[in-house]
Amino acid sequence: MATPLSAYALARALRGEGVRVREHPGWQTRNRNHKGPWGPVNGVMLHHTAGRDSLTLCRDGTAALPGPLCVGLIAKDGTVHLVGCGRTNHAGSGSSAVYDAVRAERPAPSSPGPDAVDGNAHFYGFEIENLGTGKDPYPAVQLAAVEKVSAALCRAHGWSAASVIGHKEWTRRKIDPSFSMPGMRGRIDARLGLRPVPQPYAAFPGAAFFVPGRRSELFTAVGRRLVAEGCGRYRVGPGPVWGEADVASYAAWQRKLGYTGPAADGVPGRTSWDRLRVPNP
d(C-alpha 21, C-alpha 79), whole Å: 6
pLDDT surpasses 60 at 281 = yes
What is the strand order of the sheet 43-48 is part of? Answer: 21-23, 80-82, 72-74, 123-128, 43-48, 164-166
Percent of the chain with pLDDT over 70: 97
d(C-alpha 35, C-alpha 25), whole Å: 22
pLDDT surpasses 80 at 239 = yes
User: Residue 201: its pLDDT value, please?
Assistant: 82
d(C-alpha 237, C-alpha 241), whole Å: 10
Q: What is the mean pLDDT of residues 12-17?
A: 95
* Amino acid present at 90: H
Distances (CA, A) of 254 to 46, 276, 277: 31, 10, 14
Entry pTM? 0.70
d(C-alpha 219, C-alpha 211), whole Å: 11
Q: For the chain, what are the domain ranges? A: 7-194, 207-276
* Residue 208: its H or E element: none
d(C-alpha 20, C-alpha 177), whole Å: 21
User: Residue 199: its pLDDT value, please?
Assistant: 55
Q: What is the mean pLDDT of residues 120-147?
A: 95
d(C-alpha 56, C-alpha 267), whole Å: 51
Contacts of 183 (CB under 8 A, 6+ apart): none
- Under the banding of pLDDT at 50, 70 and 90, the label for residue 1 is low
Quickly list DSSP for 106-149. Answer: SPPPSS---EEEEGGGTEEEEEE----SSSS---HHHHHHHHHH
Q: What is the mean pLDDT of residues 120-128?
A: 98
User: Residue 208: its pLDDT value, please?
Assistant: 92
- Residue 201, beta-bridge partner list: 279
d(C-alpha 228, C-alpha 27), whole Å: 22
User: Residue 108: its pLDDT value, please?
Assistant: 87
- Chain length of the chain: 281
Predicted confidence (pLDDT) per residue in 168-219, tens digit: 999 999 999 999 999 899 999 989 984 444 456 888 899 999 999 999 999 9
CB atoms under 10 Å from CB of 137, counted, come to 11
User: Residue 280: its pLDDT value, please?
Assistant: 79
Predicted confidence (pLDDT) per residue in 75-89, tens digit: 999 999 999 999 999
Distances (CA, A) of 232 to 37, 51, 130, 220, 227: 19, 43, 42, 12, 4
Quickly list DSSP for 144-202. Answer: HHHHHHHHHHHHHHT--GGGEEEHHHH-TT---SSS-HHHHHHHHHHHHHHS--SSPBP
pLDDT surpasses 80 at 232 = yes
How does the average pLDDT of the chain come out, rounded? 93
Predicted confidence (pLDDT) per residue in 32-71, tens digit: 999 999 999 999 999 999 999 999 999 999 999 999 999 9
User: Residue 145: its pLDDT value, please?
Assistant: 97
- Under the banding of pLDDT at 50, 70 and 90, the label for residue 225 is very high
* Lowest mean per-residue pLDDT among 6-20, 180-194, 221-235: 180-194
3-state secondary structure of 228: helix
238 DSSP 8-state letter:
-
Topology of domain 7-194, per CATH?
Lysozyme-like (3.40.80)
* Amino acid present at 58: C
